[in-house]
Amino acid sequence: MKRAVFLDRDGTINLEKDYLHRIEDFEFVPGAPQAIRLLNEAGLLVVVVTNQSGVARGYYTEDDVEILHRHIARELETSGARVDAWFYCPHHPAGKGSYSLPCRCRKPLPGMLLDAACRLDIDLKTSAMIGDKLADVEAAIAAGCRPILVRSGYGAAEEAHLPGGVDAYHDLLAAVKSVIKANDPV
């Protein structure tokens, strides 16, 4: 089985912008490409797991999400970095049509992590989840991963609500350097 680091997208990899879906609005959190490259070099799978309720709300389409993910992947390639797999949840209780149905993938539920583990042969017990929201931390705990909060995005405000024992770092690069330096990435 493989070890992985699951990454939230908005506020963790890219600057938080409400319902980001347009390429021209995309900006990396400083150091994010380097952080992802360090994970790649450490031999860890990098899996993005992101809630995209803008699809359910009718703000943009699943095609828009996939176009943006391809753009991010191309941008990461210029830094020698890559994401091994992308998972997103297009559902929301206040959504429209089939997107408003109950799902098991919307964080804080662990569905995306569990699906990734099954598809990619990931050992969740030796893996970690890095994100900027309590929902990311709760999804990690529910999946049996190590939860890590970053203070970028919503993280600084969310930190006060963390359960005990959850590490918090300034941003993705600081979190990744810490876990790699410990020689026990997860």
- Closest CA relative to residue 166, chosen from 143, 124, 138, 185: 138
- pTM to 2 decimals? 0.96
- Closest CA relative to residue 106, chosen from 118, 92, 127, 85: 92
- Quick one: pLDDT band at residue 101, thresholds 50, 70, 90? confident
Q: Is the pLDDT at 56 greater than 70, yes or no?
A: yes
Q: Which residues are catalytic?
A: 8, 10
Place of tokens 């017990």: 125
Please report the pLDDT score of residue 182 as a whole number: 64
Homologous superfamily of 4-181 = HAD superfamily/HAD-like (3.40.50.1000)
- Quick one: pLDDT band at residue 76, thresholds 50, 70, 90? very high
129-175 pLDDT, tens digit per residue, is 999 999 999 999 999 999 999 999 999 999 999 999 999 999 999 99
Average pLDDT over residues 29-54: 97
Cα 106 to chain centroid, rounded: 12
- Quick one: pLDDT band at residue 54, thresholds 50, 70, 90? very high
Edge-first strand order for the sheet with 4-7 is 85-89, 45-51, 4-7, 128-131, 146-150, 167-169
Domain locations along the chain: 4-181
- Closest CA relative to residue 111, chosen from 49, 48, 44: 49
